[in-house]
Amino acid sequence: MPLSTSIAVCTYNGERFLQEQLDSLLRQTQRPDQIVIRDDVSSDGTLDILRAFLPVAEAKGIMVDLQVNPENVGYRLNFDGALRACTGEVIFLCDQDDVWHADKLERFCAEFERRPDLLALHSDARLIDGEGNVLPRRLFRSLGVGTRQMRRMHRGTGLDLLLQRDLVTGATLALRKSILRDALPLPPSGWVHDAWLATLAAIIGTIDSVERPLIDYRLHDGNQLGLGGNDPLSRQARRQKHLEQDLSEVLLARLRALHVPEPLQKLIERKKRHIAKRCNLSRSFIKRVPVVMGELLSGNYGRFGRGLLSAAIDLVRR
């Protein structure tokens, strides 16, 4: 029997692109069983589009659960609420401004059915602009994800990659509902929902990638693609390291509550200590050298960063 599916759509003032996205959900070669739409008190025509969509989807046998928050809660709580309302065995995250390829649901579900150990799956995406024109680079390439990273992901070592940098874009992510027992509630701050879900899936089970683009990921004003893996020489980068330290503590607290095996907890503790050392490097070059070299020789720069490049950046930064 095919796995049941839910699509979690979060909307907020999305009238410009929303209809095209909703139409792409209805064109799926494998029909979704449920679409949960949670609107965060839009002030434009988004709700009119959603209300018109309900009878069209229901006529195709799709159950639609449209919820409107009583007040604006922000994207994190909005996704938390949408995920809680999903009943399908496989849940797809969906942004309001992209376009899904018609075989996305079918291809993802085939992988989940073939691999019972698979908890999360994400794909490449074709990048488009606000007018729908195809941009020259795909999502994975823009994030610096190449053949080597794909081989590692396919070997089941996705956690190693995710401990180095964010590689998973929520608009391309699907996961088994079972992961929500451990992933919810979403952390109140710091963690982005897609990184949190992908990391927990990689810790508890298996995460993998589909190398083929299965959505058109739209880049437009008000939408900024974050290129993972950057390690710039800036105050902002140092603030980011402090944030990563906080994120590691939040993750570690959840893993302890879930009684995740101790070796995995120790791995996150090790990352936290490494980030703390990078955050607290002396402004004196002479004093920085032994700390950086110690972390490099211990393998921490390679385990949790970009190896020699990250170490070199820490040596020369002010």
pLDDT digits (tens, 9 = 90+) for 267-305: 999 999 999 999 889 999 999 999 999 999 999 999 999
DSSP 8-state assignment for residue 98: -
Give the pTM: 0.90
Distance CA 34, CA 61 (A): 9
CA dihedral 91, 96, 99, 100 (to 10 degrees): 10
Are residues 132 and 16 in contact, defined by beta-carbon separation less than 8 angstroms?
Answer: no
Ranges assigned E (strand) in the chain: 5-11, 34-39, 63-68, 90-94, 99-100, 118-128, 134-138, 174-176, 206-218
Residues 177-182: contacts with CB within 8 Å, 24+ apart?
A: 177/6, 177/86, 177/87, 177/88, 177/89, 177/90, 177/91, 178/119, 179/119, 179/120, 179/204, 179/205, 180/83, 180/84, 180/86, 180/91, 182/254, 182/258
Interatomic CA distance for residues 133 and 218, integer angstroms:
9
Question: If you ran DSSP here, which 8-state letter would residue 112 be given?
Answer: H
Closest by Cα among 171, 182, 179, 263 to 225: 171
* Lowest model confidence (mean pLDDT) among 29-33, 110-114, 197-201, 281-285: 281-285
- Domain boundaries, given as residue ranges, for the chain: 5-218, 235-316
- DSSP 8-state secondary structure symbol assigned to residue 215: E
CA angle 288, 293, 298 (to 5 degrees): 135
**Mean pLDDT (the chain, rounded):** 91
Instruction: State the pLDDT at residue 317.
Output: 75
Q: Read off the pLDDT of residues 143-168 as tens digits, 9 standing for 90 and up.
A: 989 999 999 999 999 999 999 988 99
More confident residue, 169 or 232: 169
At 220, the pLDDT band (50, 70, 90 cuts) reads: confident
Contact partners, residue 284, CB within 8 Å, separation at least 6 = none
Enter the tokens of residue 243: 């944030």
ω before 187 within 30° of 0 (cis)?
no
**pLDDT per position as a tens digit, 83-109:** 999 999 999 999 999 999 999 999 999
The pair of three-digit structure tokens given for residue 140, joined into one six-digit string: 């994975």
**Residues 114, 135: Cα–Cα separation, whole Å:** 33
Q: Which residues, 6+ apart, have CB-to-CB distance to 59 below 8 Å?
A: none
Question: Is residue 204 over pLDDT 80?
Answer: yes
**To which residue do tokens 């979690």 refer?**
8
DSSP 8-state code for residue 308: H
Q: How far apart are the first and last CA of the chain?
A: 59
Give the class (CATH, top level) of 5-218: alpha beta
pLDDT > 50? residue 228: no
Strands 90-94 and 5-11: parallel
Q: Beta partners for 99? A: 216
Q: What contacts 131, CB < 8 A, 6 or more positions away?
A: none
